[in-house]
């Protein structure tokens, strides 16, 4: 098995937005296959996501947008937004909700995924986050295994059905 070089990780800027939107869109389509109805994208999902990524890129105090690259090719991205926990919990500070954390190659969690998470942790602490909360689909066992082996623990599960 060939080992990929560790990617470069940097704060995303406007030039990275389209690559992040493309990567997330690809994963969003994959996730939809496993949870249709719940994961159905809005008709304007790409435009909404582009605006969301642009807002995080523009305001570095509200969250974090990182991109991993190998040469000029995107290898992954991580987007986090800071916010409070539900008022019945006291996690010790703000939560960094990481709901866009993707790699271009599903076999690259230990390369691009690890580089992104390693870079994100101190940056999120510096922004005031006390904990990270990472989204992973119930079917996404490579990502789940990576998160578990990276020291994250399962905090909850969500179940859904049509009404």
Q: Which pLDDT does position 3 carry in this prediction?
A: 57
Q: What is the DSSP letter of 60?
A: T
Q: Which pLDDT does position 2 carry in this prediction?
A: 52
Q: Is 143 helix (H, G, I), strand (E, B) or coil?
A: helix
Q: Which pLDDT does position 52 carry in this prediction?
A: 94
Maximum alpha-carbon separation in the chain: 48
CB 6 within 8 A of CB 115: yes
Domains of the chain, CATH where assigned:
8-149 (3.40.630.30)
Look up the pTM and report it: 0.90
Residues 52, 21: Cα–Cα separation, whole Å: 10
Residues 86, 21: Cα–Cα separation, whole Å: 29
Q: Which pLDDT does position 47 carry in this prediction?
A: 94
Q: How many CB atoms lie within 10 A of CB 101?
A: 25
Q: What is the DSSP letter of 15?
A: G
Q: Which pLDDT does position 5 carry in this prediction?
A: 87
Q: Which pLDDT does position 60 carry in this prediction?
A: 86
Q: Write out residues in the chain with pLDDT < 70, as ranges.
A: 1-3
Q: Are strands 129-134 and 94-103 parallel, antiparallel or unpaired?
A: parallel
Burial class of residue 85, CB neighbours in 10 A (0-12, 13-18, 19+): middle
Q: Which pLDDT does position 40 carry in this prediction?
A: 78
Q: Which pLDDT does position 147 carry in this prediction?
A: 96
CB 150 within 8 A of CB 117: yes
Q: Is 75 helix (H, G, I), strand (E, B) or coil?
A: strand
- Nearest by Cα to 4 from 105, 109, 111: 111
Q: Which pLDDT does position 89 carry in this prediction?
A: 87
Residues 61, 109: Cα–Cα separation, whole Å: 27
Q: Is 154 helix (H, G, I), strand (E, B) or coil?
A: coil
Q: Which pLDDT does position 8 carry in this prediction?
A: 96
Q: Which pLDDT does position 157 carry in this prediction?
A: 84
Q: Which pLDDT does position 1 carry in this prediction?
A: 43
Tokens 């990780």, residue?
9
């Amino acid at each position: 098995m060939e080992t990929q070089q560790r990617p470069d990780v940097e704060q995303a800027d406007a030039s990275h937005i389209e690559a992040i939107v493309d990567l997330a869109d690809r994963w969003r389509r994959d996730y939809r296959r496993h949870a249709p109805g719940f994961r159905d994208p809005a008709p304007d999902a790409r435009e909404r996501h582009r605006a969301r990524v642009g807002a995080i890129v523009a305001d570095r105090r509200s969250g974090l947008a990182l991109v991993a690259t190998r040469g000029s090719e995107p290898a992954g991205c991580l987007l986090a937004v800071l916010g409070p926990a539900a008022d019945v919990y006291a996690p010790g500070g703000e939560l960094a909700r990481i709901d866009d954390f993707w790699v271009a190659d599903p076999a690259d969690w230990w390369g691009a995924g690890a580089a992104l998470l390693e870079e994100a942790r101190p940056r999120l602490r510096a922004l005031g986050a006390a904990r990270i909360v990472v989204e992973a689909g119930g079917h996404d066992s490579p990502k789940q295994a990576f998160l578990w082996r990276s020291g994250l623990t399962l905090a909850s599960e969500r179940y859904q059905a049509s009404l």
